[in-house]
Structure 1
């Protein structure tokens, strides 16, 4: 049976490619393929051939006498596609050229009636460049004679893989993850942008519902390219180029070629004939991939072994009381009123908008007024969120700095804040251990923070790994699988810092010989960041302690 004769999907891609070629695009080295995302299938369809490649005999049988309605339904549900080369391509070959007239740019959205209303109203939008692209897309696609109608036909009708569209069943797989809050924040931002634009341009409500506005936002979010076109920095939707899937390390590069007046994609290495050709969306944490593109990468690791997956930790001076309460060392109703608490709070919020207010609030508690101070302690300036990965980067150092400040006693805080060698500008700048006692307490607090975060998840890291090894439990391409990949990545980071705290708390108690032997043993089986922390930070403070003692 000739699939192309019955499947409107093939027709729309052929028309799309014909439109591109007719307007000067060069895409003859590549072909579009659409992937069957049904569980257990690896079928793909090429837009330049009616042949359907199937992965097993059962699929072959299904293709023998398909119903037209079933094909059309499958076409609507399938939202995964990619670009493949027709033959081997050497490095430094320009494989795709899309002329400027086929691009949708921010300026085109700004020129619309709604775009002009937004500009004149100076709205404070969450993603202005995205909004202008969305406005053009939403307005122009209503025109049956639109120049871009064949491009619009290739855009997915639904975006069920995007977390902002997930149902409760899918979202439950993210329980315990900070990504749930990000999803809510994104939905709130989209709604607020929609309502704000409707206030200054009521016609938007006639053109698109909130759900359609959200659909356009995520289409643009996952497809736009930041470009420099004729000296103007802008963002654009680039038909065909936006169908390249992500892969690291990158094997292509893209740019706007001012001489050609076209968007181009060029190979950086040999691409074997028939292979998929990829774009790189950049080095990103899986939460960004999932939130903005609708997928998570199972092995999100760079060539040098670095994994950019992150987890945010929320830190504040109140954590010390929380840790002590957990140990039964203080009464839970004890108010935060001491001079140390006040001084620590002032330093904690230094260089933030809340600094002055906290000083006033802190002073007010001397007279017994703790309500204002408690409210300030709950503010976003007081609770600092920092994203950490399995790394020794700036965020990791800032995290350890803040932990040192939180557990500092009066003498340590004075040394940190008042002058001399240990004078630091903010709570994130204490990059060296202050004392053995302080570092020990900081590591104990880190362990508490990590354990608290891990307790929020309904499953363990081991349970996640078991589920991910079973395609029956978590089918390929399913939202449940991508969500589990995300939370597993968060737990891997948390377990890394749990191990760091445990090992560091062990070696900090060792004598010289035991310490050196422990470091040598760790080098064979422990992540290098833990080894470096123990050898450099703990080793340094142990040596300093010996010098101070005259040993």
Structure 2
């Protein structure tokens, strides 16, 4: 049973919860429960900003490599504990196989939320009651701002997967039928937005770690964390200095914008390296070399790509497909490796087709990128959901525009004599330069050498 009764005088809790606003009572019970159970976070306190944003701040300046959070194993809600619970045993006995491991913890949360004497009550009480910021709950009011964005399909797919998981559980496990579908969804969202992957005594598992899960995301992490078998608990340590009263952040890792948005309900400003967009390639049936190209493509005639605006593996796969689409009969007869550039003519053809595909993707968005940038500059929004929608769609358009520029600049450079490349080559520290070094410069140099021969 969770001891949630509060002693009258707890001066050591005042600093930890004094800025928690309407959440002060709930967070006081959480802090009391954590401390009584052996958790330690003496340099941190909780701060309330609004209903959708809470944070962890420092009471004092914290140096690098300082342990700021310790949570013993008994206060970590792990997947193994969920499987060993009453509802976990019932699901396992039913024979149902979970499609997602997060569902174990979600089901356990549903069980414990309905238990007024649950050991986990102080922790469950601070979890958000609703997730208005999650795209899976968006109505047409918000979805209209996402027209053209792949995040709409992501949210639809996520809803379908959640429904299938819930229906699968209740079809095999009568004990879970007492919990409503939306309760299960609440549990899954609580898990995905707070989960830690841990290795405990040589076993890999997932866990919900109170207090540590309150740190918000920042691309540049300020902490590192993991389970310590020696200390029998979760340990979080700083990786840089943090000043007094500063917010202290964790990092959820590098992810494309759609994952931040659909999985966590927020977006990252200026996420240039990891923004991505959907680009479709299509082999038309009236192509004179349709059969041969289809064979080169492994039977595929339509492909969907989701690259970032940089020259990496995804971009190379993208160009490989479009090189195949643009190949001539003579080039196909030579059995080339389209993963590599094969000729100036073919590269130009591929870039023309890629530009057309990007333009087609752009037409799916009603608003222009200029409109999005203007909205972001004026910073006037209905609410944070509206802003996240615009940041999401703007990032996709920026990626598409980057590829359009790559196609145009690439064709211009491919048309230049080799002796002019030293003057016209893109600057070294640009995202276009790796493509130039890997593809354009070698092709033009090879053509020049062949001409001289």
Question: Which residue in 2 is equivalent to 1:23?
Answer: 37
Q: For the residues of structure 1 that align with 2:234 and 2:437, how far apart are their CA atoms?
A: 50
1:98 pairs, out of 71, 78, 83, with 71
Listed one character per residue, the Cα deviations across residues 341-395 of structure 1 (whole Å, up to 9, x for unaligned) are: 112112212xxxxx5xxxxxxxxxxxxxxxxxxxxxxxxx543222211211111
1:458 pairs, out of 341, 366, 372, with 366
Question: Which residue in 2 is equivalent to 1:505?
Answer: 411
Structure-2 change in CA distance of 1:257 and 1:532 (3 Å): closer
Retained in 2: the 8 A contact 1:468–1:474? Answer: no
Q: For the residues of structure 1 that align with 2:301 and 2:96, how far apart are their CA atoms?
A: 29
Q: How far apart are 1:179 and its partner, in Å?
A: 0.9
Q: For the residues of structure 1 that align with 2:233 and 2:348, how far apart are their CA atoms?
A: 59
SS state of the match for residue 446, structure 2? helix
Question: Which residue in 1 is equivalent to 2:278?
Answer: 312
SS state of the match for residue 247, structure 2? coil
Residues 1:346 and 2:295 aligned together: yes
Question: Which residue in 2 is equivalent to 1:226?
Answer: 197
Listed one character per residue, the Cα deviations across residues 256-307 of structure 1 (whole Å, up to 9, x for unaligned) are: 1111111111111111111111111111111111111110011226xxxxx1
Retained in 1: the 8 A contact 2:278–2:361? Answer: no
Alignment of 1:120-519 (within 5 A): 120=93, 123=96, 125-127=98-100, 129-206=101-178, 208-300=179-271, 307-318=273-284, 336=286, 340-349=289-298, 355=299, 382-416=301-335, 422=336, 424=337, 430-473=338-381, 475=383, 478-519=384-425
Q: For the residues of structure 1 that align with 2:67 and 2:175, how far apart are their CA atoms?
A: 42
Structure-2 change in CA distance of 1:397 and 1:464 (3 Å): same
2:432 pairs, out of 530, 538, 541, with 530
Unpaired runs of 5+ in structure 2?
Answer: 1-13
Structure-2 change in CA distance of 1:535 and 1:282 (3 Å): closer
Question: Which residue in 1 is equivalent to 2:61?
Answer: 88
Retained in 1: the 8 A contact 2:79–2:205? Answer: yes
Residues 1:32 and 2:46 aligned together: yes
Q: For the residues of structure 1 that align with 2:333 and 2:206, how far apart are their CA atoms?
A: 50
Q: How far apart are 1:518 and its partner, in Å?
A: 2.2
SS state of the match for residue 241, structure 2? coil
Q: For the residues of structure 2 that align with 1:443 and 1:294, how far apart are their CA atoms?
A: 35
SS state of the match for residue 235, structure 2? strand
Retained in 2: the 8 A contact 1:100–1:261? Answer: yes
Unpaired runs of 5+ in structure 1?
Answer: 37-77, 302-306, 319-334, 350-354, 356-380, 417-421, 425-429
Structure-2 change in CA distance of 1:96 and 1:531 (3 Å): closer
Q: For the residues of structure 2 that align with 1:454 and 1:7, how far apart are their CA atoms?
A: 44
Retained in 1: the 8 A contact 2:95–2:172? Answer: no
Q: How far apart are 1:235 and its partner, in Å?
A: 0.1
Q: For the residues of structure 1 that align with 2:381 and 2:26, how far apart are their CA atoms?
A: 35
Retained in 2: the 8 A contact 1:114–1:201? Answer: no
Question: Which residue in 1 is equivalent to 2:8?
Answer: none
Of the two, which has the highest radius of gyration?
Answer: 1
SS state of the match for residue 96, structure 1? strand
Q: For the residues of structure 1 that align with 2:22 and 2:385, how far apart are their CA atoms?
A: 27
Structure-2 change in CA distance of 1:337 and 1:543 (3 Å): closer
1:542 pairs, out of 440, 444, 452, with 444
Q: How far apart are 1:399 and its partner, in Å?
A: 0.9
Listed one character per residue, the Cα deviations across residues 398-450 of structure 1 (whole Å, up to 9, x for unaligned) are: 1111110111122212323xxxxx3x4xxxxx232111221111000011011
Retained in 2: the 8 A contact 1:94–1:264? Answer: yes
Using structure 2 for the length normalisation, give the TM-score: 0.91
Q: How far apart are 1:118 and its partner, in Å?
A: 3.9
Retained in 2: the 8 A contact 1:446–1:501? Answer: yes
Q: How far apart are 1:317 and its partner, in Å?
A: 1.9
Choose 161-170 or 308-317, whichever is displaced more.
Answer: 308-317
Q: For the residues of structure 1 that align with 2:113 and 2:305, how far apart are their CA atoms?
A: 41
Question: Which residue in 1 is equivalent to 2:3?
Answer: none
Question: Which residue in 2 is equivalent to 1:10?
Answer: 24
CA RMSD of aligned residues (A): 2.2
Q: How far apart are 1:547 and its partner, in Å?
A: 3.2
Q: For the residues of structure 1 that align with 2:240 and 2:440, how far apart are their CA atoms?
A: 44
Q: How far apart are 1:542 and its partner, in Å?
A: 2.2
Structure-2 change in CA distance of 1:240 and 1:516 (3 Å): same
Choose 288-297 or 534-543, whichever is displaced more.
Answer: 534-543
SS state of the match for residue 233, structure 1? strand
